[in-house]
Amino acid sequence: MPVSESDSRSSPPRAVPTWSWMLRSPARIVAFGLGSGLLRPASGTWGTLLAWLLWGLALSRLSDAAVAIVLVLSYAYGCWCCQQVGREMGEPDSSRMVWDECVAFWLVLWLSPNSFWAQLAAFALFRFFDILKPPPIRYFDARLKHGFGVMFDDILAACYSLLAMAILVRLGVLQ
């Protein structure tokens, strides 16, 4: 895999992921959100758009119990995948790893009204909170790295998004 040049006395070189490199490992494919994390600019937004697409195509058709199981398993497997891929890359919280956006946004979509406008609002709110990282998200993002840390701060952004969505629904702005 191509890597950036680095002085041998400094930290290990960071890998520059490519499509062919990603496709050689299921963990990389998952961590990179089926390749959406390789898209630029704004890989997190691309990952969230992928999550929305997958939600519409498959996950929204599942029972609540099945969605809950998918979320728990996707979170756990995502922690492992992001841990492995972050280690391979020498970058424990690469912005190219977007599985965290996928799982967290699925949580938001699951608990939000099932209309296009509500989902669009949920998308905007989730991206807003994921980028802004209000307290305590920024605190945990700075202190928790590797697989669990990559996944956890996005779950917190999902919680902020769900709170905002609940307020919008309660006020009658969204249905």
Mean pLDDT calculated for residue range 129-153: 90
Sign of the dihedral defined by the CA atoms of residues 113, 118, 119, 125, in that order? negative
Angle between helices 146-170 and 99-110 (to 10 degrees): 30
% the chain with pLDDT above 70: 91
Q: Residue 15's pLDDT band (boundaries 50, 70, 90)?
A: low
Residue-wise pLDDT for 145-175, tens only, equals 888 989 999 999 999 999 999 999 999 999 8
The residues near 28 (Cβ < 8 Å, ≥ 6 apart) are 17, 21, 22, 81, 85, 88
What is the average per-residue pLDDT within 55-70? Answer: 98
- pTM of this prediction? 0.89
Once rounded to an integer, what is the mean pLDDT over residues 120-140?
95
Contact between 15 and 1 (Cβ < 8 Å) = yes
Q: How far is CA 102 from CA 1, 14, 90, 122, 175, in A?
A: 26, 24, 22, 13, 23
Tokens (6 digits) for 74 = 């996707």
What digits encode the pLDDT tens for the residues 32-51?
999 999 999 999 999 999 99
- pLDDT interval class at 14 (50, 70, 90): low
CA distance 81 to 84: 5
Please tell me the distance from the alpha carbon of residue 63 to that of residue 68, in angstroms, as a whole number. 9
